[in-house]
Structure 1
Amino acid sequence: MAGAAGATSSGQERQPRLRADAKRNAEQIRTAAIGAFQGRGLSVPLEEVAKAAGVSKGTIFNRFGGRIGLIEAVIAEVVAAEIYAIIDRSRAIGDVWERLMYYVTAIRDLQYRQPATVDTMLQAYPDAPSLMEICRAGGEINEELVAAGRTAGVLRPEFTADDLHALLHDSALVLKHGTRPPREDYDRRTGYVLDGMRGHGRR
């Protein structure tokens, strides 16, 4: 009986230790993934994330179920919070043209700074619900901004929400697959994008 009790006690001691180890591993993986995804985008090899976290690749699958689960676990810290903040700030600006200028400039800036923004806007991982929700929210704000801009006459009358989407999507494609321009050139081209959108009343 004593032996059985001792075995039970030992097992109870091991279980909290295992839970603590699992929690520590998960936090290490999350920290490593946030750093990797922010710096290089969502397609960073999981082997590199595992190495930075000091665990095996298999541990990532055990804790998060693979890349999609890991993206879901960290996307808020990586880029979602910034995107939603831009959307909220845009809606709070009273002047319609200032609202459009802020939104386009802020999104293009985030695309340049955060490669994960590019992966999100290009829907690189359509099985990740959080990424697709960001894209849905982006489409919604595009519709709102363009509708308000056309009503106020600050946009070219033929300019559509699809045009705004295409302009932002095209810049994402260039940053993902093309030659990354110097920051000065990129910001200058943001001005050209805005100039091309303006209605005649705002020129």
Structure 2
Amino acid sequence: MPGAVPPEPQLRADARRNSEQIRSAAIGAFRGRGLAVPLEEVAKAAGVSKATIFNRFGGRIGLIEAVIEEVVTNELFAVIDRARAIDDAGERIEHYLTAIRDLQYRQPAFNDVLLQTYPDSPQLVEICRAGSEANEELVAAARTSGALRPEFTASDLHALVHDNALALKHGRRPLREDYDRRTTYLLDGIRGR
């Protein structure tokens, strides 16, 4: 049939197995240490050569895009969906900000996404766009309800989350108790009077 797209060739069983091993190793590495983990380490954990990662995924960006859903996206969108499902605007923004900060603490890869460490990835840029949209929506509703200080903006929330990402990525990691206490201080500071 003219103009028909030929089907993608089926991968051999060993190539399919290599791809799955690489994906699994990348998910484990990226979740624990962020998206900049050396590809040599991912390859070693997968039991393949670095060249195999390039052959299968085209390099770091292709590998990140192949696993980012499992590493960050699913959890981020679950946070957004859960926040949107809360009726009270004050509780909604409190849940959202607490959950975002928790995700930042637990998932270094999330901070890489927020900081747009890989701006050549359309998929990562889209995740940031969706997050910014949620920020604007939730802040607007919370301000309208009086749950947030009237001068607090979505840009302020973006800056707070961005600054936190920088601190977690480049600073000394705080104890979880200290981090959670600071989240409480942050919430207290932005609440409406």
Partner of 1:141: 134
Taking the TM superposition and a 5 Å limit, the aligned residue runs for 1:50-199 are 50-199=43-192
Q: What is the aligned residue count?
A: 185
Deviation at 1:114, TM superposition (A): 0.7
Q: Matched residue of 1:180: which SS?
A: coil
TM-score, normalised to structure 1's length? 0.89
Per-residue CA deviations over 1:147-181 (Å, capped at 9, x if unaligned) read 11111111111111000001111111100001110
Residue of structure 1 equivalent to 2:4? none
Larger-gyration structure (1/2): 1
Give SS of 2:12's match.
Answer: helix
* TM-fit CA distance, 1:34: 0.4
Matched, 1:48 2:12: no
User: So what's the TM-score if we normalise by structure 2?
Assistant: 0.93
Question: 2:26 matched to which residue of 1?
Answer: 33
Q: Which amino acid aligns with 2:83?
A: S
Q: Which runs of 4+ in 1 moved over 4 A?
A: none
Q: Can you give the 5+ residue segments of structure 1 that lack an aligned partner in the other structure? A: 1-14
* Matched letter for residue 70 of structure 1: L
Q: Percent identity?
A: 76
One-letter amino acid matched to 1:125: Y
Superposition RMSD on alpha carbons, in Å? 1.3
Aligned counterparts of 1:167 and 1:71: Cα–Cα separation in 2: 25
Q: Which has the higher helix share?
A: 1
Q: How much has 1:48 moved relative to structure 2?
A: 0.3
**2:190 aligned partner, one-letter code:** M
